[in-house]
Amino acid sequence: MNMDFPNVPRRPGGQPHVVIPYSFVDREFAGRLAGTLRRGGVSPWIDEVDMSTGVSLTTRILKATRPIDFVIPIISATSVKSGWVQRELEPIMTKELAGRVVVFPARIDGCPLAAFLRKQPFADFHGLGWNRACENVKDCVQGRPVTEPAHPPPAVRRPPAVHRPPAAPLLSAAEELATPDTKRVFLSYDHENDGNLKDVLVTWSKQPGFAHFSLYDQPVTVSVDSEAAEPLKRAIAERIGAASGFLCVVGTKTFGNPWVEWEIKKADELGKRMVAVRANRDCTVPEVLSDVAATCAMSFTFEGIRKAIDEAYGGSSLE
């Protein structure tokens, strides 16, 4: 069975520009797919887009400096429920961008596909496994016919024995939190002034015995009280909710930072283990952080912060 894509845009000598939109909980799968495509020589022009932030794919496509050729959305039970799949993909496939951009979905679990997606091929990572589904994606992006069904025919029910799960399956945020000894801590910091401290902590998190950090690593340019902040709040709240702990870096200008204050309150509302670490002794701890009785690191050192996180988790080892 050959499935060709006659409308694939081609620029002579150019490499395709691929966008992989995903819901936040599927971020690791999206990153793994993007890395595989880059390492496989498909193209260096592969962007991952977190749809939890409320971005518009249509706007991104129309305003892209380098024309976007392929959209490979990560389809899961989470992304289908979030609404962006129907809201963003159907217009791209049926309106002014139809024929200019190829949408080739990557389904990663057993969720049902929307009717408009069932009318075309998709890479079925759930049914075919990682290797075969990846080859389907590569064939599509590189302009080759997909020489096997990208998904099982609807009328065929395969016995479980022939289903091959993806190699080294990735855990969702919920599954990760349910795994024993996993301690994922949301990292809150002043983006404008304390990025260097964030970089140090992220580097330490790669060492044995230290916590794993998640964070919203983009500058926030809107007021925390504005309507424009709502999509960002939802995205950040989802990250905080997926973590089991919360660590606030207190720098020289953290006191009075409204976004940091909002993150602290949200973490407390969600019942997270609270940790605070000051860049130095002269830094003033925000009042709201004192109110939630956060565990404080004695110094901004690997061992000092590791011990504070251990204490917040009841003294259990992170190893």
Domain ranges, ordered by start, for the chain: 18-162, 173-312
Angle between helix 130-141 and 27-39 (nearest 10): 60
| Residue 79 CB contacts under 8 Å (≥ 6 apart), including other chains | 22, 23, 26, 51, 73, 85
Under CATH, which number does the domain 18-162 receive? 3.40.50.10140
> Would you say 57 and 85 are in contact if contact means Cβ atoms under 8 Å apart?
no
Class of domain 173-312: alpha beta
Average pLDDT over residues 70-83: 88
* 171 band by pLDDT with thresholds 50, 70 and 90: very low
Structure tokens at 49: 């887009």
| Residues 108, 138 contacting (CB under 8 angstroms) | no
| Residue 175: its H or E element | helix 173-178
Distance from chain centroid for Cα 138: 22
Task: Give the pLDDT score at 298.
Answer: 81
Dist CA 63 CA 122 (whole Å):
26
The amino acid present at 75, given as its one-letter code, is I
Percent of the chain exceeding pLDDT 90 equals 31
pLDDT in the model for residue 162:
38
CA torsion 60-62-64-65 (nearest 10°) is -160
Q: What is the pTM of this model?
A: 0.48
Three-class SS state of 106: strand
* Burial category of 69 from C-beta neighbours within 10 Å (exposed 0-12, middle 13-18, buried 19 and up): buried
Q: What is the DSSP string of 216-267?
A: --S---S-TTSGGGHHHHHHHHHHHHH-SEEEEEE-TT-TT-HHHHHHHHHH
Burial environment of residue 208 by CB neighbours within 10 A (0 to 12, 13 to 18, 19 or more): exposed
Over range 66-92, report the average pLDDT: 87
Torsion sign, CA atoms 262, 267, 269, 273: negative
Lowest mean pLDDT among 91-105, 116-130, 187-201, 220-234: 91-105
What is the C-alpha separation between 24 and 299, in angstroms, rounded? 32
Token pair 């749809």 is at which residue? 51
Confidence of residue 72 (pLDDT cuts 50, 70, 90): very high
Do 18-162 and 173-312 share a fold?
Answer: yes
Count how many residues are written for the chain: 319
